[in-house]
Structure 1
Amino acid sequence: MARGKRLTGIDLLEKKISDLNEKIDSHETIIYNLKEQKSKLEEEMKKIKLEELSSIIEEKGLSIEEVKKLIDNQGSER
């Protein structure tokens, strides 16, 4: 029974290169998706931090100008 054309050395190498390119593309897609997830989580964390800060400012009854002054004073003390 014939098994088909036997691959030459070059054919084998081209096949291996093609397989590697497919794997690279797959991994790049995975990396891209992971970076997107990371970015979304960082944005969510930033939003939560801002909400917490806003809540503290409101609890203390501070204005934005007062907060700016507090921050400026902290920076000049260092």
Structure 2
Amino acid sequence: MSTKKISIGTKPTAKPAPAAADAWVESRVPAEGPEPMKRLTIDVPESLHRTIKAQCAMRGTKIADEVRELLLQKYGQA
């Protein structure tokens, strides 16, 4: 039986970021684009989750997209 030899490279060093990079990040203006998203976590009964998941699977949609659409219908566009 032959053994395979593997060489592992050197360990990366933790170089600090250049000061210019920090200054750029702090002073940059965000580009126009889609509105940033925020995460919303809710608890629902298992039976409701199972129903939503099955319906979304049959339609080929994601639960998050369905819930987002319902929230937009209820609360409108911000």
Identify whether the pair has TM-score above 0.5, normalized to the shorter chain. Answer: no
TM-score, normalised with respect to structure 1: 0.33
Q: Which has the larger radius of gyration?
A: 1
TM-score, normalised with respect to structure 2: 0.33
